[in-house]
Amino acid sequence: MKVQTIRIKSDNEEVIKGLNDTVDIIKSTMGAKGKFVTINENGETTITKDGVSVANAITLPGLEGIGCNLVKSSARKTVQQVGDGTTATSVLLQALVNKSKLYLVDDINTISKDMELAVEAVLDYVESYSNDLNNDFDKLEQIASIASNSQELGKMIADCYKEISMDSIITLEKSAFSPKTYYEIRKGIEFNSGMVHSKFSNSHGERCIFENPLVFIESKEIRGFTEVHSKILGKALNEDQPVIIIAPNFSKQFITTCLTNKDKRQVPICLVRTPGFGDNLKENVKDITAYTDKGRVDKVVITREKISFFNEPTESLTRRIDELTKNLDVLDDEYEAKKSLNRIHKLKGTSAIIYTGGVTVEAQDEEYDRLEDALGSVRASMKGGYVAGGGTVLYKASKALYDKSLPIGYKIVLEACKAPIMTILSNANLNPEVVLGYFDLEDPKQGYDVITNEYKDMVAQGIIDPTLVVKEALTNAFASTKLLINTKYNLINKV
């Protein structure tokens, strides 16, 4: 299949136009008085203020599409790293690019280096005014409310964390039946593996529910009844208890024999395949072994898809959690560390799921995106703290660090840092120059509330943003700017 270059441009004019057109749409949603955007796809209409939803819906042709994709990839990187920041990244990228392009005839390498120094200085300023979240659930709710554009969703997230603690895990799923969003606290431990046959169920809805069962874990496939009769079924008969057998696989003959045994009411039994694959399977076996007390557990609920254990904490469980916690310190890989942390919370039985509802699929998707932003912001604040308004702290950094003798690249960054707060004020139909003229540059907490049109203590009012989101937005916006201003040719190919 031959690829043909059909268009070559030696300047970035059309690329920057595509970037500006994209950001102009995204930034219209920014701030408490940001505007809505209507998106029509496949005949379905969604009305949203969510920056992610808006960005994902924008596509542009040709060279303008390169600029559009640059915005989306830059914002996507911020979201991947800290869970939020689409709009902030986009606005900063636009400001940096438009101010940089005025100086492309100069020594661009020197300008890039000076811009990098300025970015580092601004990041240090932002960090110096960061506050720890600690266990302040009110601040958590405020962060979640701002990120989700909804006080109701912000309160739900805070209430959820109050029930399971701040160091717990909340996951997000789409509800299959509810038009309303709700959350569910998981008190036990759950694995993605269920009964091997629906006939093992003993309750309505194809569920197998056992009280005080014996749990046996086998390391290899069970092929015959004689392999387990003496050590498993014999013990169950003697103690008159139900049995759960967990193994990598079972032969058809063994499954049939167990079902026959169940029908004759000899021993209540259920077969479950070991959850996971490879190393994950081995770790899951360790978890189940630790969670059950020498093969005993208070209660088990098994469906065709999942198995859930409910038990009081055991000594072996405490040892397992301690082992995993110590291992966190030596894990360099962020992905592996996150998996291990999730495993720890799962073993503690401190997890929750928020199920996103919606009257339509489009409404559900839009609310899911906003909740995803909010959870990302909350996690970022737990990790890196919060500042008094992301746009406000960047503006004050630009004023505090400014000096007439600074080189061009440095000044470009400082000027660009004014863009977020100016966008927020413009979206509220205010004159940014007038409002910013009364800012107290010595007070890092003071800012302007566009809802009440008053200067306030932003922290006291809960107008706060995660520190890491502000820092990553600027970092990634600069990285993309550096790429663009150092680009000589833009090619469009087609197959």
Per-residue pLDDT, 227:
67
* Residue 2 binned pLDDT confidence (cut-offs 50, 70, 90): low
Evaluate if residue 4 carries a pLDDT over 60.
no
Q: What tokens appear for 407 in the block?
A: 């080189």
Question: Does residue 231 fall inside a structural domain?
Answer: yes
Say whether both 112 and 27 belong to one domain.
yes
430: which 2 tokens? 């205010």
* Strand pairing report for 208-211 and 299-302: antiparallel
Domains of the chain: total = 3
Please check whether residue 322 lies inside any domain of the structure: no
Give the distance between the most distant pair of CA atoms in the chain. Answer: 91
Task: List pLDDT tens digits, range 335-364.
Answer: 788 788 888 878 887 678 899 998 888 888
> From CA 48, how far away is CA 37, in angstroms rounded?
5
Whole-number pLDDT of residue 363 = 83
Token representation of residue 434:
């007038």
Whether residues 218 and 261 share a domain: the answer is yes
Q: Based on the fold, state whether residues 115 and 45 are members of the same structural domain.
A: yes
Residue listed under structure tokens 């006080």 = 151
Per-residue pLDDT, 248? 93
Tokens coding 303: 């469906």
pLDDT given for residue 10 in this prediction? 58
Which domain CATH number covers 373?
3.30.260.10
How many other C-beta atoms lie within 10 A of the C-beta of residue 386? 31
Note down the domain range covering 300.
189-312
Q: Please compute the mean of the pLDDT values over residues 286-296 and round it to a whole number.
A: 87
Answering whether pTM is above 0.85, one says no
| Amino acid 83: pLDDT | 81
Average pLDDT over residues 270-291: 92
Least confident segment among 83-87, 146-150, 165-169, 268-272 = 165-169
Q: CA-CA distance, 39 to 50, in Å (whole number)?
A: 11
pLDDT at res. 9: 60
Residues 156 and 72 in one domain: no
What per-residue confidence (pLDDT) applies to 8?
A: 62
- Residue 259 belongs to what H/E stretch? helix 252-263
Residues 182 and 244 in one domain: no
> What mean pLDDT comes out for the span 161-186?
83
Q: Is 119 found in the same domain as 9?
A: yes
- Angle between helix 408-416 and 108-128 (nearest 10): 50
pLDDT confidence band for 6 (50 / 70 / 90) = low
Residues 8 and 118 in one domain: yes
Residue 373 has pLDDT above 80, yes or no: yes
Residue 293 pLDDT:
77
Is 344 contained in some domain? no
At 51-99, the pLDDT tens digits run: 888 998 999 998 899 999 999 999 999 988 888 899 999 999 999 999 9
| Local confidence band at 397 (pLDDT 50, 70, 90 cut-offs) | very high
159, amino acid identity: D
Q: Residue 128: is its pLDDT beyond 70?
A: yes
Same structural domain for residues 123 and 142? no
pLDDT one-digit tens code per residue, 12-39: 889 999 999 999 999 999 998 999 999 9
Q: Is residue 307 classed as helix, strand or coil in its secondary structure?
A: strand
